[in-house]
Amino acid sequence: MSQQELIGESACGIVVKLTSGEVTPLDLLDALEKRISDVDGKVNALPILCFDRARKSAMELMKKPRADRGLLAGLPVPIKDLTDVSGVRNTFGSPIFRDNIPVCSDILVERLEENGALIYAKSNTPEFGSGANTFNKVFGATLNPWDTSCSAAGSSGGAAVALATGMAWLAQGSDMGGSLRNPASFCGVVGLRPSIGRVARTPKGKVDATLGLTGPMARNVEDVALMLDAMSGQHPGDPLSLPKLTNSFLSAARSGKKPKRVAYSPDLGITPVDPQVAAITRAAAGRFAEAGAIVEETHPDFGEAHECFHVLRALDYVGMEVLLPEHRELMKPEVIWNIEEGLRLTVAQVERAEMQRAAMTARAVQFFETYDLLLTPATIVKPFPVENRFVSECAGKIFDNYVQWVSIAYAITLACCPALSLPCGFTESGLPVGLQMVASPGCEAQLLAGAKVLEDVLDVRRTTPIDPRGPKSTC
């Protein structure tokens, strides 16, 4: 195959070619290096490259029989610039850590490499992953390849853009308030926030931190399922991690199992939404009827989501207070705001927020006794101008803070549910829109099966990879 044909192939297709010997891991690295050279200067998705490390790993992997090279068999994967990879810069998008080089890899990276992944790049992220627009003082902004005047969202914006432009077949992202779902939506790819414990990672700060999780990103549902298989499994270093399931997530995605009853909500009762986004996602949800499902417009009660998330997010930032005395001038104002909000919290506020989260989770679990899936817009707006730090208003509603515009994602985070952003259509100006698909906690297999059914009905999975398209001011 030519390098261009390789770039356009699915991850599952590449793994078949690796295991058959049609291509080698070194062939893939060569193709990626060329592709990055050609297009990354236009979008700034992968600012840190480590091809020497990847080729060294490839040579070691190729000493093994092809059948023993793991699920990914030598498939290259980029890692978000918040996650430690041994010997590779990990800046967190912050000038404070511009030259930070970890000695040890995160558990997640070790697991991927055990399964045959080759780490060749770090993907761009906002400072400390804070904010749903990917820009920082170290590397600058990542641009949306559908229109480079637009935001790629965040915080896994670099990963989403790498996938959309053919600089990656699979990618790792992380998600607190939609940090892999939002960029997947804006860039026309698939991103999955899994259940708590599904993907083991090295605990940082708190052992039981569960707002922010790590998950897979790819161009289609089957590839996301493959990546989740390679990421998942129990590890003693992460006490919350879950054992690997008997059946693979890829087999679940390919099962053809159709949901019987699904719910759609344009707003979960807590947020405004752009009318065009609502129309596109409602139409996509309605097409589940073609697969024989009953589609109804309803949702669980998420009335406490704003108060609850504001408190628990701020609590997660308290540990960063040690950076303020010496580095305050290097940190973006949104990060400082989060830390200071956390420092003002009382025990009573934290206790109330934890109880609210438990109540929302219980209501969601009860809701999924009736409905197999809940569908919403993945984001409430279309891609916005990249120079805007965040979305300050929507449909005439002015938001109270810089994260409230992603509440349709963080409400699902609070309910502990796995959620996936699936490309479902385009705006009048040709920008992607994602449909958020949600299942009950622990039910990624059901979620992936339903997502693949709808993906087949919508038939939009071959819209990527694309060459970056210059600024058109369509956002």
404 burial (CB, 10 Å; 0-12 / 13-18 / 19+) is: buried
CA angle 306/342/201 to nearest 5° reads 85
Catalytic residue among 57, 130, 156, 179: 179
Catalytic residue among 105, 123, 151, 155: 155
Contacts of 292 (CB under 8 A, 6+ apart): 258, 260
- Determine how many CB atoms are found less than 10 A away from the CB of residue 311: 21
Q: Are 155 and 113 in contact (CB under 8 A)?
A: no
Q: In the annotation, is 179 catalytic?
A: yes
Nearest to 327 by CA among 103, 92, 142, 85: 92
How many residues would you count in the chain? 475
- Sign, CA dihedral 406-416-367-455, equals positive
Write the CA distances from 37 to 41, 54, 434, 468, integer angstroms: 7, 17, 29, 13
Structure tokens at 126: 């906002």
What gap in Å lies between CA 185 and CA 38, rounded to an integer? Answer: 24
What gap in Å lies between CA 62 and CA 25, rounded to an integer? Answer: 8
Catalytic residue among 10, 17, 57, 80: 80
What gap in Å lies between CA 204 and CA 180, rounded to an integer? Answer: 19
What gap in Å lies between CA 404 and CA 413, rounded to an integer? Answer: 14
Nearest to 153 by CA among 213, 217, 224, 98: 217
Q: In the annotation, is 37 catalytic?
A: no
Q: In the annotation, is 407 catalytic?
A: no
Active site residues: 80, 155, 179
